[in-house]
Each structure stands twice: as C-alpha cells, then as structure tokens.
Amino acid sequence: MADTALLSLLSKPIIGKHYRDPAYLDQLRCIFSEYGYVKLTEFFIKPVYESLVAEIGAIQRKKRKRDFQMPGYATPRIMSVVSGSEILESSVLLVTLYGHCELRKTLATIIDHDIFGVHHREELMVVNLLEKRGDTHGWHLDDPRYAFIAVLKATPNDQGGSVEYISNWRSLCAEHGLGAEQNVDKGVELAASRGMIRQAHHKAGDCYLLNAGECLHRVTPLAVDKSERWVLNMAFDDRMSIPFGATADLLYGEHP
C-alpha cells in the first residue's frame, strides 16, 4: 500500500462503530474478566480488514516452516510463521497498526487496564499460518499477558483450527502441584475431566482478545487437506517491562 493511502486509511477511525459504545464495551469487559477470552466480531472496518488481508498475503512469502515439540510444554508446533522482526522490516501498515491509538484504547478498555507494547522483536507481533491437515499450534502460555488476534483465513467449524483455552490455568496448576509450563498433558487431562476446556471457532474477519499469559491455549489440528488458518497476533501487556523465556525465539527465530 502506498504511504499516502496508508496515512489516509489510518488517520480515520479503523474500528467498527459499535466498539465506541460504552455499554457494549462494558459487556465485553465483563466477559473478558470472567473467562480471559472474548470474541470481537466485525472489529476492523472493511477497508482496514481488506488491507490486512492483502498485507498478510504479501508478507507470508517470508514464512518459515516449523515442525517440532516445544521444550517444557512438550506440545507440537506444526505450522508456518512470520516473525516480529520480519514484520518490522517489511510492513509499515502492520507496524503503524500495532501502535494505533484507537486500537490500544479499545483493547485497554476491554482489559480494564492500561496496556503497553512488547519490547521483544520476535514476539511483539507475528503471523501464524496453519496450511495443511495436521498443522497445529499446541498448548502453551505466552510471555506477554494479552494476545489480540485478527483472523484472516479460517476453516469451517468442523474442520479443525478452533481455539481451545483453559481459564485460570495457573491457579489450577498451583492447586494440584503441577508445573504450569512443564509437561502440561496431566493438567490438560485434569481440566478436561472438570469440563474446564472451552472452545471457540472463528471465521475470517473475526478478531479475539485472550489473556494468553494466564489461559493455557492451543489451536486444534486442521482436519482436512487444502485448508488454511491465517492469523495476525499482536502482543500487549499491562507491565512496562516483562521477562521472556526462550519459546518465542525457538518458534519465531531463524534457528529453532
């Protein structure tokens, strides 16, 4: 997108007008507070969403394929990724959107706390691509607390690619003496036995907000060939500075 067109697009409201309704935002805040997750339908106005689709279509050519078990969690990463550092070097649109005042103000209202950008070149903003049967982003927590995800391509509801999450995961693990970030299968089995695993499916154009530092989460494996799920994931936190583990570098760095 030409710089003049980009500036024109982002100088106007970029988010659907219903997200400027205080009563609606209060409903979303209550849902997010209870579950650590909330779906945001028709979040971006159509021209912004269409620009995002085109931008991700171009930038995904820089993707790196991944197929490994994440150490610690012992869960699979079978997917393709575009790292934050690649995005920073390649996309004025995405960098500008990440810092956009209207976006951050709206998310902060739903979270009910001021938020800050993340100072990690690989994790602040990434593109995650599931592109074939069996591709999956296995169970994990994020280092930053909050993940804002825009879904650009999606599978039908019965073909995998759904988000599963466990609210209050850290509290569950502490209660039962389990490691929140180590060999999570036992904790997931416990959560399943208690009916604590929630699932949400999204169509192209949906967005969602997740407390990704507290809710263990995954994207279920794609179930059919010739299916795709593309998302843009922007990370935020209510702390100005946070510690980072090695998982982001393993997944998004040049040498996993």
Task: Tell me how crowded residue 96 is: count the other CB atoms within 10 A of its CB.
Answer: 13
pLDDT above 70 as % of the chain: 96
pLDDT at 197: 98
Span 68-72, mean pLDDT? 96
Task: Tell me how crowded residue 209 is: count the other CB atoms within 10 A of its CB.
Answer: 24
Q: What's the CATH code of the domain at 45?
A: 2.60.120.620
pLDDT band at residue 255 using 50, 70 and 90 as cut-offs? low
Lowest mean pLDDT across 5-14, 65-74, 131-140, 235-244: 5-14
Within-domain flag for 207 = yes
**Taking every pair of C-alpha atoms in the chain, what is the biggest distance, in angstroms?**
56
Span 176-183, mean pLDDT? 92
Please indicate, yes or no, whether the overall pTM of this predicted structure exceeds 0.85.
Answer: yes
Nearest to 85 by CA among 26, 142, 125: 125
Alpha carbon distance 40, 162 (integer Å): 15
Note the Cα 121 to chain centre separation in Å: 16
Span 170-198, mean pLDDT? 95
Scan for tokens 């995800």, then name that residue. Answer: 149
pLDDT at 243: 82
Within-domain flag for 2 = no
Span 112-124, mean pLDDT? 94
The residues facing 80 across adjacent strands are 65, 129
Within-domain flag for 6 = no
Within-domain flag for 223 = yes
Span 70-83, mean pLDDT? 97
Span 121-143, mean pLDDT? 96
* Angle separating helix axes 101-111 and 22-35, nearest 10 degrees: 60
pLDDT at 241: 83
Alpha carbon distance 37, 247 (integer Å): 22
- Domain limits for position 58: 14-252
User: What stretches of the chain adopt beta strand conformation (E)?
Assistant: 37-40, 64-70, 75-82, 116-117, 125-130, 136-140, 146-153, 163-166, 197-200, 207-211, 216-219, 229-237
* Comparison of pLDDT for 244 and 138, the residue scoring more: 138
pLDDT at 180: 95
Strands 116-117 and 125-130: unpaired
165 is written with which tokens? 């999450």
pLDDT band at residue 4 using 50, 70 and 90 as cut-offs? low
Asked if 203 and 104 touch (Cβ cutoff 8 Å), the reply is no
Span 13-30, mean pLDDT? 97
The residues facing 235 across adjacent strands are 147
pLDDT band at residue 256 using 50, 70 and 90 as cut-offs? very low
pLDDT at 1: 53
Number of domain units in the chain: 1
Identity at 54, one-letter amino acid code: A
Alpha carbon distance 80, 66 (integer Å): 6
